[in-house]
Amino acid sequence: MSVSIPEVTLNNGVHMPILGFGVFQVPDEQTEQVVTDALAAGYRAIDTAASYGNEEAVGRAIAASGIPREQLFITTKLWIQHTGEETAKREFDKSLSKLGLDYLDLYLIHQPLGDYYSSWHAMQKLYGAGLIKAIGVSNFYPDRLVDLVQHNDITPAVNQIEVHPFFQRADYQPLLTEHGVRIESWGPFAEGKNDLFTNPILAKIGAGHGKSVAQVVLRWLIQREVVVIPKSVRPERMAENLAVFDFELTDDEMTRIAALDLGTSQFFDHRDPAMVKWLGGRRVD
Ligand code: NDP
């Protein structure tokens, strides 16, 4: 099946699909089939992470798909336990080998925790050597982002952060845009929290376009020029989440969705000391 997915241009000229597919919480044993289905549905960008424990399965699906490498956009992330210059290089090699690739499209620092400045130095070198097309960060709040930008040669191409109708980050977007950092939304549906899929305002807007709540949310993010990577293990939802390029939300609809913002995470605060400690102690293979 062929679906034409528009691309954005990152701050180094690299093109990235504005809509991709995330595999967080897809069990390892299910991931090969799920990614195979996603690629068959038309997704070309896949977002995984060392900490998801499913990079090998993603790699098997990529290899079996027969899709030319240059048509794919593959992202993975470096976990906190592996921050540091030498460890970051070693873990990058490990991720690449698990994915069965000889270069990555996007490599992200998963959390602004641990010795991530040293990781960034390693990533800048890997980027310079052509082993990564673009480097970026994830879960960086404005202060951490500005500091990293100020003290390094390369500005992150992407900041992958929690963005959905209940935590919109509209106040953060201008700063990221000013620095040329593209927002990539994680949890575009807030994983269904706060009854997102039955929200009456989103449902009413969807009904007016013959679209589902999920499609309205993805379209709203895309119209904000935010990259999206929804996750689903079900082929019918994979297709549904791709069918968002044949309608447009009006300014009034965008404003009504803007009013849903609660201004706080629906998951946890990355600056909460107890959470920082928990994340920093989490071990991955
Ligand atoms: P999402 O907001 O994408 O929600 C996924 C949930 O929504 C699943 O339960 C899925 O169920 C359901 N769903 C998907 N499509 C539909 C639909 N059309 N209608 C109804 N329900 C639907 O959550 P994620 O946390 O997975 O976020 C997306 C991606 O972002 C992740 O997979 C990961 O790649 C990335 N991420 C990154 C983080 C980071 O720290 N950098 C943190 C969290 C996520 P089902 O599968 O049964 O269809």
pLDDT of residue 3: 77
Given the CA of residue 186, which atom of ligand 1 is nearest to it?
30
Active-site residue 52, yes or no?
Answer: yes
CA 263 to chain centre: 20
Domain ranges of the chain: 7-280
Given a contact cutoff of 8 angstroms between Cβ atoms, the answer to whether 112 and 77 are in contact is no
Q: 3-state DSSP call for residue 236? A: helix
Calculate the alpha carbon distances from 26 to 57, 122, 192 in Å: 10, 29, 16
Q: Is 22 in the pocket of ligand 1 (CB under 6 A)?
A: yes
The rounded Å distance from CA 100 to ligand 1 centre is 24
Amino acid (1-letter code) at residue 43: Y
Class of domain 7-280: alpha beta
Angle at 49 between CA 47 and CA 54, to 5 degrees: 95
Given a contact cutoff of 8 angstroms between Cβ atoms, the answer to whether 218 and 188 are in contact is yes
* Residue to probe by mutation, ligand 1, list 19, 21, 23, 24, most atoms within 8 Å of CB: 24
The rounded Å distance from CA 49 to ligand 1 centre is 14
The rounded Å distance from CA 230 to ligand 1 centre is 5
pLDDT of residue 12: 98
Closest CA to 138 of 60, 213, 54, 229: 229
Kind of pairing, strands 7-9 and 15-17?
antiparallel
With a threshold of 0.75, does the pTM exceed it? yes
pLDDT of residue 2: 63
pLDDT of residue 144: 97
Q: Is 229 in the pocket of ligand 1 (CB under 6 A)?
A: yes
Which is the catalytic residue, given 43, 52, 127, 172?
Answer: 52
Angle at 172 between CA 75 and CA 264, to 5 degrees: 90
Alpha carbons within 13 A on the beta-carbon side of 12: 18
162: DSSP letter: E
The stretches of the chain forming alpha helices (DSSP H) are 28-41, 55-65, 85-99, 116-128, 142-150, 173-178, 200-209, 213-223, 235-242, 251-258, 273-281
- The parts of the chain modelled with pLDDT lower than 70 are 1-2
Burial letters for 231-261: b for 16+ Cβ neighbours within 10 Å, e otherwise? bbbeeeebbbbbbbeeeebeeebeebbeebe
- Quick: pLDDT tens for 39-70: 999 999 999 999 999 999 999 999 999 999 99
The rounded Å distance from CA 195 to ligand 1 centre is 14
Task: Give the separation between CA 79 and CA 77, rounded to whole angstroms.
Answer: 6
